């Protein structure tokens, strides 16, 4: 099967090269369904120690590059300080060599985040920290021209704060081609601000410092901005971590610019309770993905949300990875192909131990390169009578007004069977049977027994009798949907559903045959 451009719908391209037998496509219905799901297959990136605040990018050679800050502890005081390390991975999340150090300094290097430039080069934005903002600390950008093997530090971004200067976002190329860097800091004031500087010569020099959000005037701490371009390709959005001076009332605020970052709209809270770096990325389907730390729920896991209105409103939280012992220590998502999002995220076990992990999310359906099974976006599996097998007395499949059906009689316990493979991403599901009655003009009751059972490959199904339910017949040949079971926990890869009619039961008063048209299995969680 191919799309209008002649591309196979069971494949996608990574760095311009086909990756076969994978279907992870952006969906036309994504804006309506908010279909965004996390995979269960992941890979640990970092070694021992406190490894956190990761960045991630897809290189031109088709590899994933992850970077992170590696140190003895979360806030090393005094030295040794943190360094920026990196590691390369194939798109199936397999390591390509060992981790290596790309940036070092006498000061602590923190919060790296990556940007892919149009010419294939990779920019890394980070800051140097010594607890103050002396002349050597501050925000920097470095460039790699060899797919992340080495980075060359460019000139310092000269923000004018003198008490604190830091960053946690990515360098962005504005619609007019300028390079933009956002940071946060303060000068002898209580509350922190967000400012932006630009380079018109690809990082040789920086100028044009502007205020994006003024914390002192609004009595809020504005921190860790992440900027990017919205789906229209013209509007810049900045998401900001916000909290009171004592750290209470965490939230994510939003502001936009329509003039390449020269001026910004009034800030507005769009997500309450989230903290940490508000790492977001626009999706090919027109949506946005936001990965944050759930600051409202101890122990503060990494979670993700989706927006289909340019960040004005966001979906409910979904957790990424396991619950941490301490807290989530930031993330960076990137869309490696339409509908397929790779994420580097970190989970802290203690102040001296944090681990970086790679995983996939999907805004679409199919199989990720790592093997995650992202099923039908509506979470529905259906098999008609033509795909079921006869067991226990059901007569051969026939047709009623063009419908293939299995016939269940009125005098015995007749049943048919349908087998489904349940995706690994499903936790629970509902089962419905679709059926018709043959003879109109009478209203009577049919007694069903709802039999279903699960097993894994290499095992056998075991006989399992479900609960009974009495259903009143409707009009002749009208397709009727009858729930068989709800909230069934997934305990095996394969599910066998056996709709059984107890025709001999005294409560079954319908004296005619019925026809089973099919079974529908729908994801519940």
Give me the residue spans of the domains in the chain.
12-374, 380-523
Taking residues 302-317, what's their average pLDDT? Answer: 90
**Cis preceding-peptide flag for 337 (omega within 30 of 0):** no
Looking at 28-37, 38-47, 294-303, 349-358, which range is the least confident one?
A: 28-37
Helix (H, G, I), strand (E, B) or coil at 24: coil
What's residue 14's pLDDT?
42
pLDDT above 70: residue 123: yes
Looking at 60-74, 170-184, 257-271, 303-317, which range is the least confident one?
A: 303-317
Other Cβ atoms within 10 Å of 167 Cβ, number: 30
Largest CA-CA distance found in the chain, in angstroms, rounded? 91
Which alpha helices (H) appear in 190-242, and where do they start and end?
A: 215-218
What's residue 480's pLDDT?
81
CATH of 380-523, picked from 2.60.120.260, 2.40.10.480, 3.40.1190.20, 3.40.710.10, is: 2.60.120.260
DSSP annotation of 339 reads T
What's residue 334's pLDDT?
96
Q: From residue 84, how far is each of 113, 135, 477 by CA, in Å?
A: 11, 21, 68
**Cis preceding-peptide flag for 139 (omega within 30 of 0):** no
pLDDT tier, 525 (very low <50, low <70, confident <90, very high otherwise) = confident
Q: From residue 468, how far is each of 388, 444, 465, 471 by CA, in Å?
A: 21, 16, 9, 10
Q: From residue 219, how far is each of 164, 174, 209, 308, 422 by CA, in Å?
A: 17, 29, 22, 30, 52
pLDDT tier, 473 (very low <50, low <70, confident <90, very high otherwise) = confident
* CA atoms of 208 and 213, how far apart (whole Å): 15
Other Cβ atoms within 10 Å of 262 Cβ, number: 14
One-character DSSP codes across 265-327: PPPEEEEESEEEEEEEEE-TTS-EEEEEEETTSTT--EEEEEESSTTSS-PPPEE-SSPPSSE
Q: Look at 39 and 343; give whichever has higher pLDDT.
A: 343
Comparing 12-374 with 380-523, is the CATH topology the same? no
Helix (H, G, I), strand (E, B) or coil at 422: coil
436 neighbors 400 (Cβ within 8 angstroms): yes
Looking at 42-46, 206-210, 251-255, which range is the least confident one?
A: 42-46
* CA atoms of 72 and 48, how far apart (whole Å): 9
- Tens of pLDDT, residues 10-38: 333 444 444 433 334 444 334 444 567 88
- Tens of pLDDT, residues 85-121: 999 999 999 999 999 999 999 899 999 999 999 999 9
What's residue 475's pLDDT?
67
Strands 172-173 and 179-186: antiparallel
What's residue 11's pLDDT?
37
The tokens describing 221, both together, are: 């701490």
What's residue 295's pLDDT?
86
The tokens describing 423, both together, are: 């995706």
CATH 3.50.50.60 for domain 12-374, yes or no, is: no
Mean pLDDT of the chain: 85
* Global pTM value: 0.72
């Amino acid at each position: 099967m191919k799309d209008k451009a002649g591309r196979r719908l069971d494949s996608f391209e990574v760095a311009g090269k086909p990756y076969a037998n994978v279907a992870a496509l952006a969906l036309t219905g994504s804006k309506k369904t908010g279909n965004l799901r996390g995979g269960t297959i992941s890979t640990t990136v970092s070694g021992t120690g406190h490894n956190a605040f990761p960045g991630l990018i897809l290189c031109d050679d088709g590899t994933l590059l992850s970077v992170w800050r590696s140190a003895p502890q979360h806030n090393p005081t005094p030295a040794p300080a943190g360094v920026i390390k990196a590691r390369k991975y194939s798109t199936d999340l397999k390591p390509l060599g060992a981790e290596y150090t790309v940036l070092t300094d006498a000061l602590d290097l923190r919060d790296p985040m990556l940007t892919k430039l149009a010419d294939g080069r990779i920019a890394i934005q980070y800051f140097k920290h010594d607890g103050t903002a002396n002349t050597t600390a501050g925000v920097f950008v470095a460039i790699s021209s060899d797919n992340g093997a080495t980075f060359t530090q460019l000139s310092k971004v000269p923000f004018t704060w003198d008490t604190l200067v830091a960053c946690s976002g990515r360098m962005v190329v504005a619609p007019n081609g300028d390079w933009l860097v956002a940071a946060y800091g303060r000068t002898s004031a209580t509350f922190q601000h967000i400012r932006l500087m630009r380079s018109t010569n690809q990082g040789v020099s920086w100028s044009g410092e502007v205020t994006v959000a003024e914390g002192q005037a609004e009595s809020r701490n504005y921190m860790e901005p992440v900027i990017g371009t919205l789906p229209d390709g013209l509007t810049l959005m900045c998401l900001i971590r916000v909290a009171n001076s004592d750290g209470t009332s965490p939230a994510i605020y939003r502001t936009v610019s329509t003039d390449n970052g020269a001026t910004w709209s009034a800030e507005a809270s769009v997500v309450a309770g989230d903290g940490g770096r508000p790492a977001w990325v626009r999706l090919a389907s027109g949506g946005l993905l936001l990965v944050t730390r759930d600051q409202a729920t101890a122990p503060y896991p990494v979670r993700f949300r989706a927006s289909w209105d340019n960040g004005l409103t966001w979906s409910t939280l979904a957790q990424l990875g396991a619950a941490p012992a301490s807290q989530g220590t930031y993330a960076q998502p990137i869309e490696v192909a339409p509908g397929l999002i790779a994420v580097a995220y970190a989970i802290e076990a203690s102040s001296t131990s944090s681990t970086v992990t790679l995983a996939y999310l999907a805004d679409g359906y199919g199989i990720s390169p790592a093997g995650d099974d992202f099923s039908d976006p509506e979470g529905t599996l259906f098999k008609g009578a033509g795909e079921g097998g006869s067991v226990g007395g059901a007569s051969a499949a026939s047709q009623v007004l063009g419908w293939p059906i299995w016939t269940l009689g009125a005098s015995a316990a007749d049943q048919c069977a349908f087998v489904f493979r349940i995706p690994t991403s499903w936790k629970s599901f509902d089962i419905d049977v679709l059926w018709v009655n043959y003879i109109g003009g009478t209203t009577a009751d049919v007694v069903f027994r709802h039999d279903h059972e699960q097993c894994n490959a290499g095992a056998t199904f075991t006989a399992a009798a479900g609960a009974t339910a009495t259903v009143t017949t409707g009009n002749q040949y009208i397709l009727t949907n009858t729930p068989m079971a709800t909230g069934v926990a997934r305990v095996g890869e394969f599910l066998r559903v056996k709709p059984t009619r107890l025709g001999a039961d005294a409560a079954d008063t319908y004296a005619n045959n019925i026809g089973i048209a099919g079974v529908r299995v729908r994801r519940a969680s």
